């Protein structure tokens, strides 16, 4: 409303008009994460657990808020090849169809990992058959979704300097069967099966300024250089970003340096699984939510300054469902954790506001 018109209104009407004006001002900024991400062409997304799409309120929120989704478990080996040679895409197909009807991209997670594998796999693997089994799986799963996946986590969590190898690689079942070449096999096969997908290496423990994460970043950079030398198709690094709320004050020097190097190598970077574990934060909910929100803001404002960073996904969106309330250590007061941008009733929290601000800035 123009100021002159505004002044000419009668006293009673003015109150009403002023209220409307203020409300319009308040809502003129982005009201959803995907609106906040649009001007900078960023992707913002969430992991979606089985069952979420069956709840109309959760499905509506996912459709409204995000422009990319990833299945929390349904593209993992245990879900897609539950028995040797029998593939099952029924659950993941539902998510991909939902995404396509809501103008959303899809991340694929994941093709090769040491965890969430079906029992038969570890029983069946031998150094003789492992390459064929891996190749068959990657070709079939990536082939099934060819041209429909924004980025595939081709290999998940292959680095673990604590395992004591000089190259810093994890002594996973794949490494034991095939040696370090399993990575190359997985990436080359994925590139053949879906030449359009951005092939991603995804890992945790890359975020913090401490010696453990420092070693992990160094080992990963070595691996990336080896990939480049051998011309192995790789387009992006996934930084899981499972943060802990007890980080005070948070600093991201090592990560900044790492992201510069990733960019110099011509790679993109995605925040793939962000959440904040409030294991040790105070019980009081407004205090806790504020601290969690502040960590979201600090982290995202920092990483989103980097031109390499193109996507931010949280590992779930509502505190109603988070893996941190499952297998992980629970709070001593037994209160449920609050790691995500929406509370259990699907209301936005300070972490949501922090995401909107960080996505908008830049």
For residue 36 the two structure tokens come to 């906040």
Phi (first) and psi of residue 310, to 5 degrees:
-115, -10
If one asks whether residue 294 binds ligand XIL (CB under 6 A), the answer comes out as no
Question: What is the Cα–Cα distance from 272 to 280, expressed in whole angstroms?
Answer: 23
If one asks whether residue 200 binds ligand XIL (CB under 6 A), the answer comes out as no
Least Å from the CB of residue 351 to ligand XIL: 18
Kindly name the residue from 72, 166, 273, 280 that is annotated as catalytic. 273
If one asks whether residue 151 binds ligand XIL (CB under 6 A), the answer comes out as no
Q: Which is nearer to ligand XIL, 36 or 182 (CB)?
A: 182
Least Å from the CB of residue 108 to ligand XIL: 12
Q: Which is nearer to ligand XIL, 114 or 310 (CB)?
A: 114
Residue selected from 174, 182, 299, 323 as contacting ligand XIL according to rule CB under 6 A: 323
Q: State the DSSP code for 287.
A: H
Q: Which is nearer to ligand XIL, 36 or 69 (CB)?
A: 69
How many residues sit close enough to ligand XIL to count as binding (CB under 6 A)? Answer: 7
Least Å from the CB of residue 116 to ligand XIL: 6
Phi (first) and psi of residue 46, to 5 degrees:
-145, 155
- Residue 15: which residues within 8 A CB-CB, separation 6 or more? none
Question: What is the Cα–Cα distance from 89 to 10, expressed in whole angstroms?
Answer: 64
The torsion angle over the Cα atoms of residues 262, 304, 103 and 76, rounded to 10 degrees, is 50
CA distances, 105 to each of 8, 141, 341 (Å) = 49, 17, 20
If one asks whether residue 244 binds ligand XIL (CB under 6 A), the answer comes out as no
Q: Which residue is nearest to ligand XIL (CB)?
A: 323
Q: Which is nearer to ligand XIL, 201 or 252 (CB)?
A: 201
If one asks whether residue 73 binds ligand XIL (CB under 6 A), the answer comes out as yes
Contact between 156 and 76 (Cβ < 8 Å): no
Question: What is the Cα–Cα distance from 319 to 340, expressed in whole angstroms?
Answer: 6
If one asks whether residue 360 binds ligand XIL (CB under 6 A), the answer comes out as no
- What percent of the chain is helix, strand and coil (3-state, nearest 5)? 45, 15, 40
Q: Which is nearer to ligand XIL, 240 or 298 (CB)?
A: 240
**157 tagged catalytic:** yes
Question: What is the Cα–Cα distance from 200 to 234, expressed in whole angstroms?
Answer: 6
Least Å from the CB of residue 163 to ligand XIL: 17
If one asks whether residue 270 binds ligand XIL (CB under 6 A), the answer comes out as no
Kindly name the residue from 72, 157, 184, 268 that is annotated as catalytic. 157
In this structure, how many other beta carbons lie within 10 angstroms of the beta carbon of residue 298? 18
If one asks whether residue 289 binds ligand XIL (CB under 6 A), the answer comes out as no
**64 tagged catalytic:** no
Least Å from the CB of residue 73 to ligand XIL: 5
Helix (H) or strand (E) holding 183: helix 181-193
Distance from the first to the final alpha carbon of the chain: 30
- Positions touching ligand XIL (CB under 6 A) are 72-73, 116, 156, 240, 273, 323
């Amino acid at each position: 409303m123009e100021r002159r018109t505004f002044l000419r209104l009668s006293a009673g009407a003015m109150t009403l008009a002023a209220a409307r004006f203020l409300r319009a001002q308040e809502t003129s900024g982005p009201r959803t994460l995907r609106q906040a991400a649009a001007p900078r062409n960023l992707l913002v997304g969430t992991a979606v657990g089985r069952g979420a799409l069956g709840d109309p309120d959760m499905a509506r929120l996912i459709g409204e808020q995000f422009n990319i989704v990833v299945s929390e478990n349904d593209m993992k080996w245990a879900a897609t090849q539950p028995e040797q040679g029998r593939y099952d895409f029924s659950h993941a197909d539902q998510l991909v169809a939902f995404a396509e009807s809501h103008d959303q991209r899809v991340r694929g997670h994941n093709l090769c990992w040491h965890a969430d594998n079906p029992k038969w796999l570890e029983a069946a693997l031998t150094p003789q058959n492992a390459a064929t089994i891996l190749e068959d799986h990657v070709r079939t799963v990536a082939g099934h979704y060819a041209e429909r996946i924004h980025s595939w986590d081709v290999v998940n969590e292959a680095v673990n300097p604590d395992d004591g190898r000089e190259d810093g690689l994890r002594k996973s079942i794949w490494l034991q069967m095939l040696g370090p070449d399993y990575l190359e096999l997985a990436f080359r096969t994925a590139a053949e099966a879906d030449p359009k997908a951005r092939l991603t290496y995804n890992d945790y423990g890359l975020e913090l300024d401490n010696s453990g994460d420092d070693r992990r970043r160094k080992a990963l950079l070595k691996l990336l250089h080896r990939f480049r030398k051998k011309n192995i198709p790789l387009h992006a690094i996934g930084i899981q970003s499972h943060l802990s709320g007890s980080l005070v004050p948070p600093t991201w020097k090592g990560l900044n340096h790492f992201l510069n190097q990733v960019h110099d190598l011509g790679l993109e970077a995605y925040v793939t699984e962000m959440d904040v574990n409030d294991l040790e934060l105070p019980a009081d909910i407004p205090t806790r939510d504020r601290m969690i929100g502040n960590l979201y803001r600090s982290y995202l404002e920092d990483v989103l300054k980097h031109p390499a960073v193109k996507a931010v996904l949280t590992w779930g969106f509502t505190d109603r469902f988070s893996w941190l309330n499952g297998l992980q250590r629970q709070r001593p007061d037994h209160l449920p954790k609050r790691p995500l941008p929406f509370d259990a009733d699907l209301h936005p929290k300070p972490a949501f506001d922090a995401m909107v601000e960080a996505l908008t800035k830049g």
